[in-house]
């Protein structure tokens, strides 16, 4: 039996990803380090394959949200530094065993982590200190908090400060530029306290993707690249979309005027219609709100609206005026329906569309 290629996949174009990486590199000085956010399954694009590619492309750091994600990468042979953004207490053992580097965002976390290092008799363990310059998310917020951390680390052989960093709350929003400038200023002040307290060199970084696009003068000696790598620019930078979510039609049927489509009879028709049943649903990450006419898919060169409620593993397309047969290709998003458009329909951001594609959807990688 001829093994056919998978029909329902999220296809990731690795050439496009490299193009995007290089596009950002061109905005940066050659010596500026790049940390790439591969958290959340590389924004849905797959963890191991993306990390391998990035390691091959000589990025300097990878960043994950939780230690488990880092362990997965280490187990797959990734050797470059990996920062853990949310180092929960229960993950200290893994952080140490797998040579991951924690984001130290509070004095309490610092003390707890050092206790773990002491038990292991480890010294010079690399940490990254996060400064909260206005997000009110993780990070040291006041000068007092920063000083407390400095004093503690100075008297401690277990740690080495690899970098100090902060995160911008609205780097993509011109209306927030005054605030962004305040964040830069605050970061300069607080990071200098740390920098000047230790004899060795400490990296500094604050820019995310939109930050790199709009404020390259603040690249310092490292940046943290996320959504841009995955093909989304908020400033019109010439990035390539890397992902296509696609499947094939399972069945085509005629719907008569007295009939309805799908659950709760919500798929109403005005005239005799034809629908295509498509084997993807909300459990694959297609938001149920896209049902009942809001969303569409691209099939045989045309857009077809989703009719009725989206099911867990299926959805139905209104193909009344289209020539469609079982086996025909269906694009949920990709070259014809952009991720940004889907995000707009759902009044959310492309990030959520990308990270929402569930693990049931097989990722396949294209590379020339």
Among 144, 263, 268, 329, the active-site one is: 263
Is residue 263 annotated as part of the catalytic site, yes or no? yes
Q: Which segment (48-56, 152-160, 190-198, 281-289) binds a second copy by CB under 8 A?
A: 281-289
User: Is 265 among the annotated ligand-binding positions?
Assistant: no
Tokens of 179: 């605030």
Q: What are the residues facing 69 on neighbouring strands?
A: none
Give the 3-state secondary structure of residue 289. helix
Should residue 314 be labelled a site residue for a second copy when binding is judged by CB under 8 A?
Answer: yes
Chosen residue from 78, 275, 299, 311 binding ligand PDD by CB under 6 A: 311
Backbone angles phi, psi at 180, to 5 degrees: -60, -40
Rank residues 177 and 198 by Cβ distance to a second copy and give the closer one: 177
Should residue 316 be labelled a site residue for a second copy when binding is judged by CB under 8 A?
Answer: yes
Nearest C-alpha neighbor of 113 from the set 127, 132, 97: 127
Should residue 143 be labelled a site residue for a second copy when binding is judged by CB under 8 A?
Answer: no
Should residue 353 be labelled a site residue for ligand PDD when binding is judged by CB under 6 A?
Answer: no
Quote the CA–CA distance of 250 and 219 in Å, as a whole number. 50
Q: Minimum CB separation from a second copy for residue 102, in Å?
A: 12
Total binding residues toward ligand PDD, as defined by CB under 6 A? 15
Greatest alpha-carbon pair distance for the chain in Å reads: 80
Question: Per-residue DSSP letters for 229-281?
Answer: TTT--SS-------EEEEEE--EEEEE-TT--BSGGG-B--SS-EEEEEES--
Should residue 271 be labelled a site residue for a second copy when binding is judged by CB under 8 A?
Answer: no
User: Is 274 among the annotated ligand-binding positions?
Assistant: no
Q: Minimum CB separation from ligand PDD for residue 208, in Å?
A: 3
Quote the CA–CA distance of 48 and 42 in Å, as a whole number. 9
Tokens of 36: 């790439």
Cα 71 to the center of its chain, rounded Å: 18
Strands (DSSP E) found in 272-318: 273-278, 296-299, 302-307, 315-318
Find the binding residues for ligand PDD in span 196-225 (CB under 6 A).
208-210, 224-225
208 binds, among ligand PDD, a second copy, none (CB under 5 to 8 A by kind): ligand PDD
Is residue 282 annotated as part of the catalytic site, yes or no? no
Residues near ligand PDD (CB under 6 A)? 37, 85, 167, 208-210, 224-228, 311-313, 351
Positions annotated as catalytic residues are 39, 263
| Known binding-site residue numbers for substrate | 137, 312
């Amino acid at each position: 039996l001829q093994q056919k290629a998978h029909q329902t996949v999220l296809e990731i174009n690795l050439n496009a990803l490299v193009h995007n990486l290089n596009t950002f590199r061109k905005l940066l000085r050659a010596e500026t380090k790049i940390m790439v956010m591969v958290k959340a399954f590389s924004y849905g694009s797959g963890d191991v394959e993306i990390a391998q590619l990035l390691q091959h492309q000589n990025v300097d750091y990878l960043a994950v949200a939780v230690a488990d994600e880092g362990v997965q990468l280490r187990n797959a042979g990734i050797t470059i530094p990996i920062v853990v953004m949310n180092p929960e207490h229960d993950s200290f053992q893994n952080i140490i065993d797998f040579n991951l580097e924690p984001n130290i965002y509070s004095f309490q976390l610092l003390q707890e982590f050092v206790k773990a290092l002491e038990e292991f008799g480890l010294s010079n363990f690399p940490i990254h200190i996060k400064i909260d310059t206005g997000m009110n998310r993780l990070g040291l917020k006041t000068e007092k908090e920063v000083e407390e951390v400095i004093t503690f680390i100075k008297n401690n052989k277990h740690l080495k400060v690899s970098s100090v960093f902060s995160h911008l709350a609205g780097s993509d929003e011109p209306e927030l530029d005054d605030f962004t400038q305040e964040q830069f200023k605050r970061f300069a002040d607080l990071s200098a306290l740390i920098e000047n307290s230790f004899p060795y060199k400490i990296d500094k970084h604050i820019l995310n993707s939109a930050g790199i696009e709009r404020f390259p003068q603040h690249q310092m000696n490292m940046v943290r690249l996320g959504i841009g790598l995955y093909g989304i620019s908020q400033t019109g930078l010439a990035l390539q979309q890397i992902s296509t979510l696609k499947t094939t039609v399972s069945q085509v049927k005629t719907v008569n005027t007295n009939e309805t489509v799908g659950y709760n009879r919500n798929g109403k028709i005005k005239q005799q219609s034809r629908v295509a049943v498509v084997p993807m649903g909300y459990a694959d990450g297609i938001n149920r709100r896209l049902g009942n006419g809001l969303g569409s898919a691209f099939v045989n060169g045309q857009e077809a609206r989703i009719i009725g409620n989206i099911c867990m593993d299926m959805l139905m397309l209104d193909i009344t005026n289209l020539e469609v047969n079982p086996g025909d290709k269906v694009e949920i998003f990709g070259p014809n329906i952009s991720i940004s458009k889907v995000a707009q329909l759902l009044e959310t951001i492309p990030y959520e569309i990308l990270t929402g594609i569930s693990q049931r959807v097989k990722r396949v990688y294209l590379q020339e």
